[in-house]
Structure 1
């Protein structure tokens, strides 16, 4: 028997009312008619992904607060949770690969002109962590409030900027060229900053918490890259190299973004550590 959650009357606090399940479980509106048996699956995966992106952004406010308050341990706690969420996101997007090309084709055309590029929250995540490409603002021309929010984020320090300012306040010689760089652009690798990271890695003394933080940041960067790579593979597997439903080049464009890094110097330093040992 199918439960009609709209008919439930919730008069006191309980599991259903606290989680607002009647509302939540009635947000899956299929466009296919007759209903395609896999469209519900497709909708639920994307809705839950958006819920997790909301939580990533929520946790990121705590991460930034930790940096601004010079509480590295709190920042570390937050970034480890964010990384764990993105690991779940990777597993979740893989679920879409259980759609055969024929199954997805059965309702894909009904999605036009909607596109994953229109995910405002994922763009917020990327912009907040420093991957700031104004190209994506074009997808929100008809949604001025979202476009304005992204523009505001683009003009503020990124998570990486906040981490480096925290490192500076801790007494480390973070290069002024890095601290004063244009925050509206994605970060480019700075050799002097990479050299500073190398010193901390190789001789942290009583400051090993910075090494733990750096490794957690790399973990998160890895999960974000893996999410993008998994997304591109899933797209090629389900629709091949067709154009995206929103007019993008689809798989081809996704591939160009697979290796973007939020914390480039934390990757570059690995080229130098131990280089003289061989």
Structure 2
């Protein structure tokens, strides 16, 4: 056995009670091996529940990868949302260092989220077609965790709460996010409080409406970038927001490519013109003035 395998914490090469002579004391530092019921690890992580959630409906092996990848993404959506909400709340409290810490954490989760598409990279159209009919009208378009992220990014839409009206707690949560400032809104409100020329309509607006680009916001960010001091926390915030925005676009583009590779331009399972809708979404800039600013610097 290789050195790596011998050092692996999951290796079965551990001393057990059967390996010891009667009366012999266990090796110092050896893990506990005797439990009356499920191990604490299984209880804490919910392993049995987690593994029981993979329920393919066909005999096509690629369906398992499809289900697991989707479930991993759903978990990561919730983690990213927690980080973005914490960053937003920190900005509303004028705590820029705290917001930066949460945005850094979110970048790590976003990188894993984007990399999750690799799990489906080798799935062929034939394999996908063998199980596609099994999930009927189910579509990622219906994911309320993903919708939560889009609302936090400023891509607001009241009708997008409607698919979840049969789940009152979910609809209530999405409505709360819909009616509250998003991550970028909080950043612009902070800039205004710091005396930068953010237009009034960007500081106090109808939060249920999608964010619309404003030339005056570009000027506010231009003043931030004019101060290149290492301790300019507003410049650090701008770049951290750019990191988030770029990763959102990467994920959207990987989604587009995954769909294009497995099903081409056929209509999506949720009824949308799948490829066209995804392409339009991938082209949409997140935090647009931060991108537009680069045309003028």
TM above 0.5, yes or no, is yes
2:85 is the counterpart of 1:31: no
Report the CA distance shift for 1:206/1:25 in structure 2 as closer, same or farther (over 3 A): closer
Alpha-carbon deviation of 1:151? 2.5
Paired residue for 2:45, among 7, 15, 19? 19
Paired position in structure 2 for 1:56 = 80
* Distance in 1 between residues matched to 2:101 and 2:36, nearest whole Å: 37
Root-mean-square deviation (CA, aligned residues, Å) is 2.0
Q: Name the SS for the 1:107 alignment partner.
A: helix
* Distance in 1 between residues matched to 2:158 and 2:69, nearest whole Å: 27
Per-residue CA deviation, residues 222-274 of structure 1 (Å, 9 max, x unaligned), is 1111111110111010011111112111112111111223311111111111x
Q: Mapping of 1:192-203 within 5 angstroms?
A: 192-203=216-227
Alpha-carbon deviation of 1:39? 1.3
Cα pair 1:117 1:136 within 8 Å, conserved: no
2:216 is the counterpart of 1:169: no
Paired position in structure 2 for 1:241 = 265
Alpha-carbon deviation of 1:57? 1.4
Task: Give the stretch that moved more between structures: 154-163 or 203-212.
Answer: 203-212
Cα pair 1:160 1:262 within 8 Å, conserved: no
2:221 is the counterpart of 1:191: no
Task: Give the stretch that moved more between structures: 102-111 or 195-204.
Answer: 195-204
Cα pair 2:77 2:146 within 8 Å, conserved: yes
* Distance in 1 between residues matched to 2:70 and 2:145, nearest whole Å: 12
Cα pair 1:10 1:17 within 8 Å, conserved: no
* Distance in 2 between residues matched to 1:123 and 1:22, nearest whole Å: 28
Paired residue for 2:253, among 229, 247, 254? 229
* Distance in 1 between residues matched to 2:216 and 2:74, nearest whole Å: 38
